[in-house]
Structure 1
Amino acid sequence: MQKRQMHLGVFLMGFGHHLASWRQADTPADSPEDIDFYIDIAKTAEQGKFDLLFVSDGLSFNERSHPSELVRFEPLTLLGALSIATKSIGLAATATTTYNEPFHLARKFLSLDHLNKGRTGWNVVTSYYQGEANNFNQNDHMKHDERYVRADEFVEVVKKLWNSWETDALVRDKATGTYFDQKKLHAQHHEGRYFSVAGPLNTSRSKQGEPVIIQAGSSEQGRAFAAKHAEVIFTAQQTIEEALKFANDIQSKAVEHGRDPSKVKILPGVIPIVALTEEEAWEKYNELQDLIVPEVGLELLSEYMGGFDFSQFDLDGPLPTELPEYNGNQSRKQLIIDMAKREQLTVRQLYQKIAGGRGHRLIIGNPEQVADDLQLWFESGACDGFNLLFARYPGGLDDFVELVVPILQERGIFRKQYSGETLRDHLGLDVPSFRTEKQVSNQTFV
């Protein structure tokens, strides 16, 4: 019997996830706007047999933003190009439900799914930057909990639109002149609190039925939303105990929604820094740490703490206990606070630590040490695999594919070849059957 298989994603982010990766001498300064750079990374990830390549997005930036987020391609446009440059790897992108319309996103993602023959995933986010509101004709950003209520209806409408056409609705019979079976085309006529959408969608069901739905929220509302809708969950935990608690909570919530918990794949983010020896790996990490501009590192921390001004405090003292209320990423803010308390970090040590991956877990070591760590988490049941955030591109990914992937393959916990053609095949997810409007709307969101 084959061992349970680990799933691996590559979280693509410009120069790399480390705040100072762009400053290294061998890093091309224009990487985030060079299509050849992205194509090379996608091909390397496909060579490593990764499940998917993931591209995040944001619709605003400020002086505290990560350098890789200041200028970057719109992700669906980028993945359209990568669809032609790759053959097997899944391609997933972030798109917000707060500043989009369901018909637009339903059509864009399903079109992409046709272009790459069933390899698309949608990372559903609700946005949390005030600047995004200001860019979309809004003075104030929608409150955290309401964003999730709106997102729930948004995804419901998208699913209805993805079910506009039954699988065999397009007859295309030249002899009889019948192009489609009218009985198998369904207008949705959705009327809800936030959206009124007539439908149907002018894009048919794809090879994998529907794009894979991904979600990354870890707040209470985020977990409830993920348990109802998500097929893949991106998350961030610093300890295996926290990860196990999160996994158990998600699985129990999924069961409450009548879902098979084994079909909800949990992929925590990790930043692996690997070299032939542990000493060399630490040298790579310390080289990046030495390139952090203190003011920039402090601004990044400030962004995750709700814009809090740390300049009035001793950087070599503890994190202040009184922090302002924040209408942004609640779970990430709490993770950083918990990490500072648990590890007794000063403000300086804290911004230095999150500079590598914004709160995700660092693994630094030789190939066996990195593989051992990933295997421990995976086999403990804390996760189904990992979303890998490389500190720098392309070097970090190259090292992992060359040094760690062969070990995971040799241990029988990661594929040597793709066994299917779609993202659902890679993840072991079922192709959704055609569902009526009533079946799509049957679940409730709490």
Structure 2
Amino acid sequence: MDSAPLHLLANMQPSGVHQAAWRTPGANRRSFVDLDYYLELARLAERGGLDALFFADFAALQPESGRQPRWTMDPTLLLSAIAATTEHIGLVASISTTLAEPYHVARVVATLDHLSRGRAGWNVVTSFDPRSAHNFGLDQLPEKEARYRRAGEFVEVVDALWSSWEEGALALDAEAGTYLDLDRVKAVDHVGEFFRVAGPLQVPTPPQGRPVVFQAGASGPGRDLAARTADGVFAAQLAPESARRYRDDLRARASELGRAPEEIRFFPGVVVVAGETRAEALAKRAALDDLVGSADARLINLAHFLDLDPRSLRLDASLPPEAWESSSHGAEGFRHSVLSFFEDAGRTVGDFLREGSLGHRTLLGDPRSIADDFEEWHVTGAADGFVLMFDAQPAGLRDFVDLVVPELRRRGLVRTGYAEETLAQRLRLPRAGASAARETVGAGVAR
């Protein structure tokens, strides 16, 4: 049995993952642009002892935005505000290596790490949405292989910038009049395939030395990038067997690159609907489904996700054969996860709409059954933790904290408080004990 703690991150989806979440009676329809809403979620997550808040992001209006709020606010600005009103929770922002520049990302994430006293993380995404490309002056996205080459170089440059201040560079010697020892601040002078960056960074080395780096690519190039650069991997997995294979594959790739396999933490995503009883949890999901009414809207979502004609989908049948044909549309990991749901004979589109969530599994039940599921995945090596999603926010997170967390704590699966100072320490990363910026850890926001 794995005696290490189970790590939990909350995916901060606007209003929740269910398209009817914003329509529930009494819901704040504008919560997705309301700072108080995000602060409430952060306080709930911290009360539950969760490791971090995780913000996904798209840099374009999404087709489903006509039916629900989707990725509206800039995650780094939101997390900076959250940093000032929380003390422990980690803060992870998704930023695209295809649409951004290394110096900007290094500076922004280092700033967040200082403001939060060592709680920042960066989710490296390469972007697959052509609408985002058009918003950044690109006629089209580069091919996937080129995007991942760029991402690898991007992370390399950011790492160099984060370490461009040697220990002791921030002298702060008032008597000698030396604020910064410039001899200990080094240019990076990077010239590569995609970037020319002089450096050094104008921000002192982050409190964590290297803020925690996450990655979510599931293709071969994505796994190679994760094996080379990531501390944590966010994955779409529906079954523990396939999750173990994925985790083992990542660790084998990391070992081939000279990394210790245990340096990578593996986080499958899961949509949790908790109730005092399973019947209550099912009723919560049914109430949201009833608000949508017809299954047509959900069929359209699924068809768009798989690049299919919605008219080809039937609730009482499996997916049509063309669903298994290669497609450049969407995220490959999510697509494979959806398709894996239908590998079991007899599963229908209607079953998926009840049990799945566009790539991530849905776990509905009482606290004991949810804890049983988490424990099985954890102790059998299928997960180091989970990225949690909820049908409706803040109700879903509140139910999880009030109902499920006590059961997880009773079993010793999660912490009862925060003993560690930084996110890297909390995730038990091997490098966490050796920050290159110990002298700057205290320079955060005033409480």
Pairwise TM-score range, normalised by the shorter structure: over 0.9
**Offset at residue 300 of structure 1 (A):** 1.6
Change (3 A) 1:132 1:319: same
Partner of 1:150: 150
Q: Is 2:111 aligned against 1:111?
A: yes
- Contact 2:107–2:202 (8 Å) recurs in 1: yes
Match of 1:137, SS? coil
Q: Which residue of 2 aligns with 1:441?
A: none
TM-score by length of 2: 0.92
The CA distance in 2 between the partners of 1:247 and 1:140, in whole Å, is 32
Q: Give the letter aligned to residue 73 of structure 2.
A: F
Q: What is the distance in 2 between the residues matched to 1:345 and 1:95?
A: 36
1:439 corresponds to which residue? none
- Residue matched to 1:210: 210
The number of residues matched between the two structures is 432
Contact 1:297 1:352 in 2 (8 A): no
1:282-331 CA distance string (max 9 Å, x none): 1112222223353431232133213x222255454331212462243112
Confirm whether residue 369 of structure 1 aligns to residue 358 of structure 2: no
Deviation at 1:348, TM superposition (A): 4.5
Distance change in 2, residues 1:212/1:343 (3 Å): farther
For 1:332, the aligned partner's letter is F
Q: Distance in 2 between matches of 1:278 and 1:66?
A: 32
- Which residue identity does 1:234 align to in structure 2? F
* Alignment-derived partner of residue 277 in structure 2: 277
For residues 38-65 of structure 1, what are the alpha-carbon distances to aligned partners after superposition, in whole Å with 9 as ceiling and x for unaligned?
Answer: 1011001001110001111101123335
Residue matched to 1:342 = 344
Tell me, in whole angstroms, the C-alpha distance in 2 between the residues paired with 1:47 and 1:434.
30
CA distance in 1, matches of 2:224, 2:16: 31
Task: Tell me: CA distance 1:85–1:326, structure 2 relative to 1, closer, same or farther (3 Å).
Answer: same
Indicate whether 1:358 and 2:358 are aligned: yes
TM superposition shift of 1:339:
1.1
Tell me if 1:161 matches 2:161: yes
Aligned to 1:400: 400
Residue matched to 1:78: 78
Structure 2: which amino acid aligns with 1:224? D
Question: Aligned equivalents of 2:252 and 2:2: distance in 1?
Answer: 26
Structure 1 residues 164 and 341, CA gap change in structure 2 (3 angstroms): same
Structure 1's 156 and 174: CA in aligned 2 closer, same or farther, altered over 3 A? same
Report the Cα offset of residue 164 of structure 1: 1.2
* 1:195 equivalent in structure 2: 195
The 2-side partners of 1:232 and 1:312 are apart by 37
Amino acid paired to 1:360: H
Separation in 2 of the partners of 1:177 and 1:303?
62
Match of 2:445 in 1: none
Given that 1:289 and 1:352 are in contact with CA atoms closer than 8 Å, whether structure 2 keeps it comes out as no
Equivalent in the alignment of 1:328: 330
CA gap 1:314/1:207 in 2 versus in 1, 3 angstroms: closer
Check the 8 A contact 1:254/1:260 in 2, yes or no.
yes
Root-mean-square deviation over aligned CA pairs: 2.0
Structure 2 residue ranges without an equivalent (≥5) = 438-447
8 Å contact 1:110–1:203 — kept in the other structure?
yes
CA distance change for structure 1 residues 25 and 124 in 2, over 3 Å: closer, same or farther?
Answer: same
State the alpha-carbon separation in 2 of the partners of residues 247 and 66 from structure 1: 36
Q: Is residue 61 from structure 1 mapped to residue 56 from structure 2 by the alignment? A: no
- Alignment match, 2:5: 5
SS of 1:322 mapped into structure 2: helix
Following superposition, the deviation at residue 422 of structure 1 comes to: 1.0
Distance in 2 (alpha carbons) for counterparts of 1:286 and 1:314: 20
1:299 counterpart = 2:300: yes
Query: Is contact 2:306-2:330 (8 Å) kept?
Result: no
Tell me if structure 2 keeps the 8 A contact 1:160–1:188.
Answer: yes
- The verdict on how the C-alpha distance between 1:394 and 1:400 changes in structure 2, with shifts beyond 3 A counting, is same
Larger mean Cα displacement after TM superposition, 248-257 or 32-41: 248-257
Deviates more, 1:292-301 or 1:130-139: 292-301
- 8 Å contact kept, 2:13–2:71: no
**2:9 partner SS:** strand
Deviates further, 325-334 or 115-124: 325-334
**Residue 231 of structure 2 is aligned to residue 231 of structure 1:** yes
Query: For 1:13 and 1:161, how far apart are their aligned partners in 2?
Result: 31
Contact 2:208 2:435 in 1 (8 A): no
Q: Which moved more, 1:326-335 or 1:269-278?
A: 326-335
User: For the residues of structure 2 that align with 1:165 and 1:214, how far apart are their CA atoms?
Assistant: 23
Whole-angstrom CA distance in 2 between matches of 1:66 and 1:413 = 40
For 1:137, the equivalent position in structure 2 comes to 137
Give 1:121's aligned residue.
Answer: 121
Q: Sequence identity, in percent?
A: 38
CA drift of 1:345 comes to: 3.6
1:16 touches 1:390 (CA, 8 Å); kept in 2? yes
Tell me if the contact between 1:32 and 1:68 (Cα under 8 Å) persists in the aligned partners: no
Deviations 1:257-292 (A, max 9, x none): 221222211111111111111111111122222233
Which residue identity does 1:235 align to in structure 2?
A: A
Cα 1:270/1:423, change in 2 over 3 Å: same
Query: Secondary structure of the residue that 1:27 maps to in structure 2?
Result: coil
Residues 15 and 27 in structure 1, CA contact (< 8 A), matched pair in contact too: no
Give distance in 2, aligned partners of 1:351 and 1:303: 14
Displacement, 1:230?
0.6
After superposition, residues 405-420 of structure 1 pair within 5 angstroms as: 405-420=405-420
Amino acid in structure 2 at the alignment position of 1:346: T
